[in-house]
Amino acid sequence: MKREIWLDFLRVTACFLVMVVHSTEPFYLGGDGTLVLTDTDAFWVSVMEGIARCCVPLFVIASSFLQFPIHYSTGEFFRRRAVRILIPMLVWTVVYALVWGEPAANFKGLLLNFNYAAGHLWFVYMLCGLYLIMPLLSPWADKVSRRELEVYLGIWIVTLLFPFIRDAAGGRAPLIYAADDLPAQALFPLWGEASWNPFGLFYYVSGFVGYMLLGLYIRRFVANNRFSGLLGWSFFLVGFVLTTFGLLQCMCESGYFPVTGGVDVAVSWETAIAFCGLPVALSALGLTLVFRRIPCKDGAFYKYIVLPLSKAGYGMYLMHMLVLAFVSTWIRNALGTGSSGALGYWTTPVEILATALVTFIIVGLISVLIQRIPRLGRLVIG
């Protein structure tokens, strides 16, 4: 199959955006859980999240664009995914369990869930869930018409409003605390959901499966022309504005700074930047159309920089938090914090972008080098 060069550029960009998202966390997570020192920090965190929050959906769209529907046996599909996804995840799960927190407690909980100290590993579980249903949906996806697919995408788009409907219907939902004292927002029940039944009317057509269908729709039915490029920019800008101002409004709701509180406060803000919320979905769709339109060429930059990073991108995702935590602390100590930092108003955005860029370069080099080790490299990096 011909390699889609633009998808390599998209995946590398999405990988960098993941690091931007995690580089914003020290600017609103701290103290007793939530700590935003100044309105400047609130503004720049919101802007960076508005740009980068679509990173995870981009990975799903890219994966679906290439692999869905699958055209080989289910057993072969799972074998390939196990080597590519599961084994590296297990390797890095062990690494995080040993390095962060209490190893004994970390290993004890691994049979039930990911290591909460390495929260970014949630993505792998979600991705594996999509892979489990890809063979089931592939026969339908092979034959689905444009109109039929649009009907299901339309239903999914409605579900992207659910985070906001729940918030409006139930007010500020209470928080419950599950394993490891992590907060989980109690959801206001909608259309068949209840305390004894979380599987409501729209459960099976909601969530990240919609991005999987979106990747299929873009490949099969969306023309790659000037209009799609303009539409992509429009979608991205609308999604950026909605995400940015939604989060900024939450952060500035109290009307004063610093904003402090338990981690439940930061969790309650996440409705505005939900991965399966309409603003982020618009940004992800828009950026996908924009990258598809970019005339990406198979030149030296692609061959020696983009392609190796794209192939090692999964390993970069898995390991990056080990590096990012140290880089972020070092840069913040060097430049200071907020408007009183070394660069004044620009201290916060420079620190966020510098943390992401330095981390990206370090983990990129490490991942590419490890991946080139015969046999071992693929098991560690994917």
Q: Which amino acid is at 375?
A: R
Tell me the per-residue pLDDT of 193-216, one tens digit each, with 9 for 90 and over.
Answer: 888 888 999 999 999 999 999 999
Regarding beta strands 183-185 and 175-177, do their DSSP bridges make them parallel or antiparallel, or are they unpaired?
antiparallel
Tell me the per-residue pLDDT of 274-321, one tens digit each, with 9 for 90 and over.
Answer: 999 999 999 999 999 999 998 877 788 999 999 999 999 999 999 999
Q: At what angle do helices 87-99 and 313-335 cross, to 10 degrees?
A: 30
Q: Kindly calculate the radius of gyration of the chain based on its CA atoms and give it in whole angstroms.
A: 21
| pLDDT value of residue 283 | 98
Cβ atoms of 24 and 49 within 8 Å: the answer is yes
DSSP 64-107: HHHHSS--S-HHHHHHHHIIIIIHHHHHHHHHHHHHSS-HHHHH
| pLDDT value of residue 172 | 59
Q: How confident is the model at residue 375 (pLDDT cuts 50, 70, 90)?
A: confident
Q: How confident is the model at residue 186 (pLDDT cuts 50, 70, 90)?
A: confident
Tell me the per-residue pLDDT of 12-66, one tens digit each, with 9 for 90 and over.
Answer: 999 999 999 999 999 999 888 899 999 999 999 999 999 999 999 999 999 999 9
Tell me the per-residue pLDDT of 88-138, one tens digit each, with 9 for 90 and over.
Answer: 999 999 999 998 878 888 888 888 888 877 889 999 999 999 999 999 999
pTM: 0.93
Q: Considering the chain, what percentage of its residues have pLDDT values greater than 90?
A: 67
